[in-house]
Amino acid sequence: MTRETDIDSLFAELRSTEPCIADQGFSTRILAKLEQKAGLSFFKDALITMLFTLMGCLLSYAFFPIAELTALIPRTIHISPLSLLTLAGTITLACSSAYCTLEADRI
Amino acid sequence: MNPTDQALIDAVVKEGSHRAFAELVKRYQSPLRYSLRQLTGWNEALADDLAQETFIKAHSALSSFQSKAKFSSWLYRIAYNLMLSHFRVARNRELTGGLRGQEEQSLWHDNDYEAIVSNESLQLHRDLAQAMKYLSDNQRMALHLSLHRECTQQEISDIMSIPLGTVKTLITRGKASLREQLADWKTGDKS
């Protein structure tokens, strides 16, 4: 018997003796998770998010000292090594977050 | 008569039937969980978590399933991507060195299996999963799909989203590596 057929026959044996894994609540757990997710439909979820975002915007508009903050914006900008480093750090963080989010959503 | 996979998928997509999806899960849970056990060095807890996540992702993406493909191949594709993501994150976090450094998290529960195979056979399945740990993730998947699930190279190429030539290389190299592992194992067994 060649080495090649050794591996092939080993897998053939595995195929013929593959254990049937009992469900033991596996499918029930999945359905329970799906029910949880289905509790709120996509549109309801989006609607609630938009509603609260709108409320947040209105509250911010009413109470946020926008004029005072605008006055604080510098008219001139000096680029220092520290500011460049901060910018690089922010970009790195944003890219990492985007990467992690995409990885989590990947099918 | 049992409804076909496509009929069940249609029922899930069009009517949102959870019962139909439960039937699909019941049909495919055993082979998928078994495959994931083989691919994770027989880490039962991890394999079951990945299988559960696979079915949940499959449910949310079921409307994008194209009936040209086999449902099982589509499931394997999701499972494979989830497994790769899991190992990538684990490696990035340096918690483990892939499977090699991973501790044995699961125990051998014979009760989980229907009594159609002997303990000796179960040990063989577990031993092979241990030997396959030393292959790369891609080699392990390609070898499992080719030799155990008897998928065609085109199917493997579709599942793993890699060119046909790469599939052939992975299988050839995977077989060579596994042969080495098994040779060591047999030598160790005899000594």
d(CA B132, CA A5): 18
Q: Taking CB atoms and an 8 Å limit, are B55 and A104 in contact across chains?
A: no
Which amino acid, B138? N
d(CA B21, CA B77): 18
Looking at the complex, report in whole angstroms how far the Cα of residue B94 sits from the nearest Cα belonging to chain A.
16
pLDDT in tens, B131-158: 998 999 999 999 999 999 999 999 999 9
* Helix or strand (DSSP H, E) at B103: none
Q: What percent of chain A has pLDDT over 70?
A: 88
Structure tokens at A25: 């609540």
d(CA B47, CA B132): 15
pLDDT in tens, A45-72: 789 999 999 999 999 888 888 888 888 8
pLDDT in tens, A7-22: 889 999 999 999 999 9
User: Which residues of chain B make contact with A30, given a CB cutoff of 8 A?
Assistant: 22, 25, 52, 55-56
Q: Taking CB atoms and an 8 Å limit, are A103 and B124 in contact across chains?
A: no
Which amino acid, B88? R
User: Which residues of chain A make contact with B125, given a CB cutoff of 8 A?
Assistant: 14, 17-19
Question: Is the ipTM beyond the 0.85 threshold?
Answer: no
User: Which residues of chain A make contact with B24, given a CB cutoff of 8 A?
Assistant: none
| pTM assigned to the model | 0.69
d(CA A95, CA B89): 16
d(CA A21, CA B35): 11
Q: What percent of chain B has pLDDT over 90?
A: 59
In B20-49, the residues whose Cβ lies within 8 Å of chain A are 21-22, 25-26, 29-31, 33-34, 48
Q: Does B112 touch chain A (CB under 8 A)?
A: yes
d(CA B101, CA B7): 44
Nearest residue of chain B to residue A24 (CA atoms) = B112
